[in-house]
Chain A
Amino acid sequence: GAGVSQSPSNKVTEKGKDVELRCDPISGHTALYWYRQSLGQGLEFLIYFQGNSAPDKSGLPSDRFSAERTGGSVSTLTIQRTQQEDSAVYLCASSRGLLNTEAFFGQGTRLTVV
């Protein structure tokens, strides 16, 4: 597609349920990022995939969070046993993957845990 696509746009879930968020990056982009943004806050780095390298998971806040990237393209962020503090906008971005190339963002998934 022309841009980074995320689904769903909005997700309301009950506390304790698992959720999956999907990101479809720009075709040919080897780098993919997940960030989290709480209301009025900055971007919190979660995880970074670069080509076939092991992902940088250093930003994942707990072991309830995991992400995978299949075939070097689509990525899924999974949050298990959701908590109210997980409520935020989850943003995905992709880039060509070289050090000097810019990243483009999807429209985000707004997650609300009730």
Chain B
Amino acid sequence: QKEVEQNSGPLSVPEGAIASLNCTYSDRGSQSFFWYRQYSGKSPELIMFIYSNGDKEDGRFTAQLNKASQYVSLLIRDSQPSDSATYLCASPIYNQGGKLIFGQGTELSVKP
């Protein structure tokens, strides 16, 4: 099993809908999780991070963490065409010296 796994998609949602992006991880010692957005031809940029169980909201974005299920998700409310990008989940792996490991990314397409 990969340390961090995501469905590669593509995920297509209509404008204004909620997009749900999911990520699972294998290291129970993982303490923190990051969501990056990567537009085509650009570098990944950090959009959310979460350390504690539960939800964390920032504008239209909500990150959810469930450590018991080893599951982290990103919800994007009122999706806009400008949200169309690849979303990468990442976590430092505790038993590998904190090395930051990325999932394969989920491609999101928001249709007008």
Query: Residues on A close to B: CB < 8 A?
Result: 31, 33, 35, 42-43, 45, 48, 50, 53, 56, 91, 93, 95, 97-108
Contact of B62 with A by CB under 8 A = no
Contacts of B43 in A (CB 8 A): 91, 105-108
Q: How far is the CB of A108 from chain B (nearest CB, A)?
A: 5
Interface pair B31/A100, CB less than 8 Å apart: yes
Complex Cα gap A60–B59 (Å): 39
Total count of chain B residues near the partner, CB < 8 A: 24
Nearest A residue to B91, CB-CB: A99
Complex Cα gap A100–B42 (Å): 25
Interface pair A43/B98, CB less than 8 Å apart: no
Complex Cα gap A104–B100 (Å): 11
Query: Residues on B close to A: CB < 8 A?
Result: 31-32, 34, 42-46, 49, 51, 88, 90, 92, 94, 96-105
Q: How many A-B residue pairs have CB under 8 A?
A: 57
Nearest B residue to A105, CB-CB: B43
Contacts of A56 in B (CB 8 A): 96-97, 99
A99's contact among B42, B92, B102, B104, by CB below 8 Å, is which?
B92
Interface pair A104/B92, CB less than 8 Å apart: no
Complex Cα gap A101–B32 (Å): 8
Complex Cα gap A102–B102 (Å): 12
Nearest B residue to A110, CB-CB: B41
